[in-house]
Structure 1
Amino acid sequence: MTASRIAVARRNKDRETGRHHVITVNRAFDEAGTGSLPAPLAALGEAVEIRRQPAPGGRGTEFSARARSGKVSGGEIRRALREARSELEIGYVLLPGGPTTRPTPLNKPLREATAHGREGGLL
């Protein structure tokens, strides 16, 4: 299979509805499992079904999200879950930046990887 076919197959697989993406947050269920959703998850709105439950072994709170339709990709769901975990655990979403991140042609690949790094991989 060529690289372009693999990329298209992955993109199409990501748009499948029904796949649950799960992340564990290091906060007790009493703190994170009740009330309103963190902003990154709330921003997805009705396009995503979100469940919260205590994590096994008392290890925090488990958030499970899945797309209800093809309007939201798996990458967008993974990004929202990671940002929600960051917001709940430390109070804000940590972003790369600082005085040394001036855009140059040499750091363009790093900027692309940073921009899309939270969308892929395992949670």
Structure 2
Amino acid sequence: MNKLWWAVPVVAAGAAAARRSQPSHRTDEQANDRWLTVTINRTPADVGSEGKPPAPLDELAERIDIEIRPAPGDRGTELAARFKEPVPALSTSAPARLAGQDPRQELRRALRDAKALLEAGEVLRPDTPPTTRPTPGGKLIEVFTRRSGGEGVL
């Protein structure tokens, strides 16, 4: 039994590789053409009128489609947006996302800002760091924050 200790990692790696090699149900083109949605705790009438998107989405109005609909279970309003033209796959690659050149990041940021403005009346931004001298932990968090690509997740 002691001679088979290497079999467990090999089997796990093989299972992971097989799972990655299976075709996904969504093509790359469909993934780049999907709706991005936020739920806002306001009525549909408060979120936007016909033909006029909320303030942060105004800048993108010519490039995006917008849908405003009641959220399921009477829990506010869903604000959905997507680009009219499909986003090129090259601009959504990992290097483009890390460099901040993915156009979907701009749309995600605009949706988050619209939600903040409609719910709180302002877009809250973090203050400067509480420490005046750089620390190793602070540098690590700064790297991860920069790498998050403005998407709100690390």
Look up the match of 2:61.
Answer: 45
Q: Matches of 2:65 and 2:133 in 1, distance apart?
A: 37
After superposing the two structures, state which structure 1 stretch, 92-101 or 47-56, moved more.
92-101
The structure with higher relative contact order (CA 8 Å, sep 6+) is: 1
Query: Structure 2 residue aligned with 1:85, among 115, 120, 124?
Result: 115
Aligned length: 110
Q: TM-score, normalised by structure 2?
A: 0.56
Counterpart of 1:76? 106
Q: Given the superposition, is the C-alpha separation of residues 67 and 31 from structure 1 closer, same or farther in structure 2, using an over 3 Å criterion?
A: same
8 Å contact 1:82–1:118 — kept in the other structure? no
- Quote the residue 1:110 is aligned against: 141
Deviation of 1:39 after TM superposition, in Å, equals: 2.2
Q: Does 1:22 align with 2:53?
A: no
Instruction: Quickly say closer, same or farther: Cα 1:101–1:60, change in 2 above 3 A.
Output: farther
Identical amino acids, percent of aligned pairs: 39
In the alignment, the residues of structure 1 paired with residue 150 and residue 38 of structure 2 have an alpha-carbon distance, to the nearest angstrom, of: 13
Listed as ranges, the gaps of 5+ residues in structure 1 are 1-12
Structure with greater helix percent: 2
Moved more, 63-72 or 95-104: 95-104
1:46 counterpart letter in structure 2:
E
What's the TM-score once normalised by structure 1's chain length? 0.68
2:7 paired residue number: none
Greater mean deviation of Cα atoms: 101-110 or 48-57: 101-110
Higher Rg: 2
CA distance in structure 2 between the aligned counterparts of 1:89 and 1:19, rounded to whole angstroms: 25
> What CA deviation, in whole Å up to 9, does each residue of 1:43-101 have, x standing for no partner?
22311111111111211110111112238722221111111101110001000014726
Tell me the equivalent position of 1:95.
125
| Structure 2 gap segments, 5+ residues each | 1-27, 89-101
Structure 2 counterpart of 1:4? none
CA RMSD, Structure 1 to Structure 2 (Å):
3.2
Which range is displaced more, 20-29 or 103-112?
A: 103-112
